């Protein structure tokens, strides 16, 4: 299987051929992506990138989401890709740990806005972009990731180049060149986790992929065998690549259908605990004030990765199952608010988290948990989570995605603005011009 | 040895501390770089990149050499980096096959022009940038290159970031972050050799390194251990990295002193043959019309890499020792003119190249050749080249670099313009403002 064959599959997909369920999942992906991008766009690292780019000039062509500001198309792809990865709250294709939206939507939205495209082709292009990047990810995973590549940045440009290139109408040879330009500039060392540069990775991948498509469209050439050649992407960045994944079974199913969304803004291993305490409170009426002790039987990874007993701030709290369980039981949710520094150091949360007892149980799967609240009056409330919210077998509903969107976007856009943008995204297939959609992504008063 | 230690060495070098011989070699590097960049700047691939960037806008801040055109600083770094690598005629650090100038000068010149810097600090910054990139190259070479990385693109951003960051006055922590941003985006698969994308590599490295320095200066952070960490640059892109090379013996000698320049625009294995025929003609008066047969005793690699007997165009002729020997003996030089398609297919060249006999001699070293011209009148002219021009033991003189510069730049700038720019580069240490220097790099009538 070859780069050219992949390019032919992409360019050979006519408009309208992507099936409705895949288009629907693209909308869910966009809603999820947009919420976390808008919500994080006031981060200082976004200011830094915008300042550097502003000094170079550039025409106001595409919107920086969450800012109400236009910059040139290339910079918009970079900045929006960064914003959407800051919260670590974006979507995930679990079999490769690829976050598919962060490198693709920023390139597509910038291109679509600048050229006044309609919504439907953008949704289809997104499905194809995700198909391309995820197939490349499957070729090189897991050795690529194990070696130290942050796969979202290192394969993301394939997705951006494929999606934008398809909209441009590149032919198969040009698409092969665009994929080659993506292949030759992987972005992202895992060593950068925990720094600003982690979020830079999908942003730069988006910008690189966009540039790759434009260059290929102008006639800029690269290798015809950039992925599979002995000194191509797959062999240089992984061992024993599964090249058959490039095109095998193309069109039988679409990778976007396996996309998953995080209900909680922290690592997935802690999600069963969050789900359990929210349900103990909501379904069984357990109140924090009545709880003597909260016992959790957890998968081994939970304590290995998130066993921090006394977190000092919001970042550390993401690695504390004790904090999450306590804050979630008190507040009824584990969202962005529960990771604010002041919530982590609040006396009621500290008091309860010290009464959380977590014990490893090897019979518990990664998406499972057993919770037992021993109340002060001697009663016991118990709950078994078989598949936690957001897992493969219990995906987030549209309503849950809307709640997440509102939580992230409303502080920036206001409740009405967030609702308006959300409704527009659900109707994106009917939007005539993306420019009007993007105008809804900023606050009433531009930052 | 650590990224931080390297950053401290760079930032701890005060202005004026780089010794005069290193500064002089920086000027030779610039003269060589500028000639090949100006000469190649009319290539169609440069048009493509400029068209894509122009559509995004950008202020006219820095000059595209050979064009008489200003674009934004970031784009200028990209485009000039591309131009300077098109001819495969730039400088080389032979122990890593790194072409040191192509990723560093474009970033430095763009930065220096935009900010109106003087010439002397730019020359010093170049020495430090080359020091940084070449030390990183030594850490990862040869496994990095063997695996398939085009080392000029994949480590070039370290040089650009270090050079520009030093001029900006980054502190050691910021410099560490800038090097981290360079580390996380290596550019360049060797699979791209023979395509436009090969020249794209140093250009993108220059642009990435420039951006990295700016971002770090704004406070954008990355890892403190981006090169040496288990999932850092060295371990992800090479085996058994020699981390001690990052700072070992810093300041005892400068890597730029080992820079070498190509006298002929083709692979180095063919250079002894070129040198031999030029000298047979110049020193012994051998004329092509008198030659019955030209016998060459060559290093084994010559026929392995450049044994093409009937090249059809200029590109193929670079892989034909027969063409080079014939054209060089007839014309008295093997330069850009000898690789024009019409020279390759000229009857006099074809006639003579069929009378060139090349034989492998295992006793001949890579920089050696034995040439024997059997003349029609029975006489024989012989020549033994012990160290060919441009090799470590027979470096190009300033006069030879000037000739090369004129050959490449005069067709674009005119003879007087080329001479003026050359004189200005020799005097760069006294230039007050780079803007005036860069104004000399374009044709009288802008393209």
B81 vs A39, B32, B402, B433, CA distance in Å?
A: 38, 13, 21, 21
How many domains are there within chain A? 2
Q: Is the Cβ pair B48, A220 closer than 8 Å?
A: yes
A196 at B interface, C-beta within 8 A: yes
pLDDT band at A223 (very low <50, low <70, confident <90, very high): very high
pLDDT in tens, A43-59: 999 999 999 999 999 99
- Quickly tell me which residue has 């083709």 as its tokens: B266
Residues of A in Cβ contact (< 8 Å) with B223? 189, 191-192, 195, 197
For an interface test with B, give the residue of A45, A56, A151 to mutate (most B CBs within 10 A): A56
SS3 call for B195: coil
Dihedral over Cα of B230, B234, B236, B240: its sign? negative
Q: Concatenated DSSP letters for B348-374?
A: HHHHHHTTEEEEE-TTS-TT-EEEEEE
Of A49, A56, A223, the CB nearest to B192: A223
Q: Is the Cβ pair A61, B57 closer than 8 Å?
A: yes
- Cα of B136 vs its chain's centroid, Å: 18
Within 8 A by CB and 6+ apart from B20, the residues are none
Same-domain pairing of A164 and A225:
yes
A204 at B interface, C-beta within 8 A: yes
Same-domain pairing of A418 and A308:
no
For an interface test with A, give the residue of B62, B154, B216, B231 to mutate (most A CBs within 10 A): B231
B168 at A interface, C-beta within 8 A: no
Same-domain pairing of A110 and A208:
yes
SS3 call for A419: helix
SS3 call for A115: coil
* Domain of residue A112, CATH code: 1.10.4100.10
pLDDT in tens, A289-342: 999 999 999 999 899 889 999 999 988 899 899 999 999 999 999 999 999 999
Same-domain pairing of B63 and B155:
yes
Indicate the helix (H) or strand (E) that contains B378: none
**CA–CA separation, B144 vs B161, rounded Å?**
20
A226 at B interface, C-beta within 8 A: yes
- Is A391 a domain residue? no
Asked if A125 contacts A110 with a C-beta cutoff of 8 angstroms, the reply is no
pLDDT in tens, A175-206: 999 999 999 999 999 999 989 999 999 999 99
For an interface test with B, give the residue of A146, A192, A198, A238 to mutate (most B CBs within 10 A): A192
Same-domain pairing of A175 and A83:
yes
Same-domain pairing of B206 and B335:
no
The pLDDT assigned to B447 comes to 60
A215 at B interface, C-beta within 8 A: yes
**CA–CA separation, B269 vs B324, rounded Å?**
12
A406 min Cα distance to partner chain B (Å): 29
* Domain of residue B330, CATH code: 3.30.1330.120
**CA–CA separation, B156 vs B175, rounded Å?**
15
**CA–CA separation, B428 vs B123, rounded Å?**
8
Mean pLDDT of A74-79: 98
- Is A173 a domain residue? yes
The pLDDT assigned to A386 comes to 96
Ranges of beta strands (E only) in A26-149 are: 62-64, 69-71
DSSP A92: B
Of A52, A56, A229, the CB nearest to B215: A52
Q: Give the domain extent around A108.
A: 3-261+399-441
Among B253, B234, B255, B254, smallest CA distance to B244 is for: B234
A285 vs A292, B197, B412, CA distance in Å?
A: 15, 63, 81
Low-confidence ranges of chain B (pLDDT < 50): none
The β-bridge relationship of strands A62-64 and A69-71 is antiparallel
**CA–CA separation, B398 vs A12, rounded Å?**
56
Asked if A178 contacts A152 with a C-beta cutoff of 8 angstroms, the reply is no
**CA–CA separation, A124 vs B218, rounded Å?**
38
- Is B407 a domain residue? no
Q: Is the Cβ pair B57, A58 closer than 8 Å?
A: yes
The β-bridge relationship of strands A356-360 and B62-64 is unpaired
DSSP A369: E
- Is A404 a domain residue? yes
B388 min Cα distance to partner chain A (Å): 31
Dihedral over Cα of B437, B439, B444, B446: its sign? positive
Q: Which residues are bridge partners to B370 per DSSP?
A: B297, B384
For an interface test with A, give the residue of B46, B55, B236 to mutate (most A CBs within 10 A): B236
Asked if A182 contacts A170 with a C-beta cutoff of 8 angstroms, the reply is no
Same-domain pairing of A139 and A276:
no
**CA–CA separation, A184 vs A11, rounded Å?**
21
Residues of B in Cβ contact (< 8 Å) with A44? 219
* Alpha-carbon dihedral B173, B174, B176, B181, rounded to 10 degrees: 150
- Is A428 a domain residue? yes
Same-domain pairing of B94 and B210:
yes
Strand ordering across the sheet containing A380-385: A356-360, A291-298, A369-375, A380-385
Q: How many CB pairs below 8 A link A and B?
A: 176
Residue B293, phi then psi, degrees to nearest 5? -155, 140
Same-domain pairing of A365 and A312:
yes
- Is A394 a domain residue? no
- Is A225 a domain residue? yes
Total Cβ atoms within 10 A of residue B399: 8
Residues of A in Cβ contact (< 8 Å) with B46? none
- Whether pLDDT at A149 is above 70: yes
The pLDDT assigned to B267 comes to 84
B52 at A interface, C-beta within 8 A: yes
Q: CA nearest B195 in A: which residue?
A: A222
DSSP B307: B
pLDDT in tens, A402-437: 999 999 999 999 999 999 999 999 999 999 999 999
Residues of A in Cβ contact (< 8 Å) with B235? 148
Q: CA nearest B43 in A: which residue?
A: A220
Same-domain pairing of A204 and A342:
no
Asked if B113 contacts B211 with a C-beta cutoff of 8 angstroms, the reply is no
- As for the ipTM of the complex, it is 0.94
Q: Is the Cβ pair B189, A72 closer than 8 Å?
A: no
The pLDDT assigned to A446 comes to 67
Among B263, B184, B272, B253, smallest CA distance to B225 is for: B184
Alpha carbons within 13 A on the beta-carbon side of B392: 8
Same-domain pairing of A405 and A436:
yes
Asked if B318 contacts B339 with a C-beta cutoff of 8 angstroms, the reply is yes
- Is A390 a domain residue? no
For an interface test with A, give the residue of B136, B189, B199 to mutate (most A CBs within 10 A): B189
Same-domain pairing of A252 and A317:
no
């Amino acid at each position: 299987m070859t780069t050219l064959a992949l390019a032919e599959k992409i360019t050979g997909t006519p408009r309208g051929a992507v099936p409705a369920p895949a288009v629907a999942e693209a909308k869910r992906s966009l809603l999820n992506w947009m919420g976390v991008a808008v919500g994080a766009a006031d981060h200082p690292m976004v200011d830094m990138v915008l300042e550097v780019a502003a000094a170079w000039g550039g025409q106001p062509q595409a919107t920086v989401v969450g800012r109400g500001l236009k910059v040139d198309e290339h910079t918009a792809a970079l900045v929006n890709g960064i914003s959407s990865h800051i919260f670590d709250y974006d979507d995930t294709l679990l079999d490769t740990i690829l976050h598919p939206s962060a490198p693709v939507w920023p390139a597509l939205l910038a291109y679509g806005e600048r050229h006044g495209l309609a919504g439907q082709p953008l949704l289809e292009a997104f499905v194809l972009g995700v198909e391309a990047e995820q197939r490349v990810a499957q070729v090189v995973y897991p050795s690529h990731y194990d070696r130290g590549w942050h796969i979202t940045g290192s394969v993301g440009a394939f997705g951006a180049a494929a999606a934008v290139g398809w909209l441009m109408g590149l032919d198969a040879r040009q698409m092969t060149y665009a994929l080659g330009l993506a292949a030759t500039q992987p972005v992202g060392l895992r060593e950068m986790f925990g720094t600003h540069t982690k979020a830079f990775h999908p942003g730069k991948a988006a910008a690189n992929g966009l540039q790759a498509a434009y260059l290929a469209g102008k006639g800029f050439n690269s290798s015809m065998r950039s992925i599979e050649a002995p000194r191509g992407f797959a062999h240089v960045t992984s061992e024993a690549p599964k090249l058959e994944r490039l095109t095998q079974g193309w069109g039988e199913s679409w990778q976007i259908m396996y996309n998953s969304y995080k209900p909680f803004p922290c690592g997935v291993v802690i999600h069963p605990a969050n789900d359990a305490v929210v349900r103990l409170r909501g379904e069984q009426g357990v109140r924090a004030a009545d709880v003597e002790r909260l016992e959790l039987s957890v998968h081994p990874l939970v304590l290995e990765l998130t066993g921090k007993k006394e977190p000092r701030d919001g970042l550390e709290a993401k690695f504390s199952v004790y904090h999450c369980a306590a804050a979630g039981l008190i507040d009824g949710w584990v969202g962005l608010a529960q990771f604010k520094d002041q919530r982590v150091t609040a006396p009621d949360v500290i008091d309860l988290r010290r009464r959380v007892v977590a014990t490893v149980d090897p019979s518990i799967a990664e998406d499972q948990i057993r919770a037992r609240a021993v109340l002060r009056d001697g009663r016991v409330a118990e709950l078994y989570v078989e598949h936690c919210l957001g897992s493969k077998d219990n995906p987030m509903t549209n309503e849950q995605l809307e709640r997440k969107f509102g939580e992230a976007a409303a502080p920036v856009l206001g409740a009405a603005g967030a609702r308006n943008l959300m409704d527009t995204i659900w109707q994106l297939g009917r939007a005539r011009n993306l420019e009007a959609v993007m105008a809804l992504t900023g606050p009433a008063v531009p930052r």
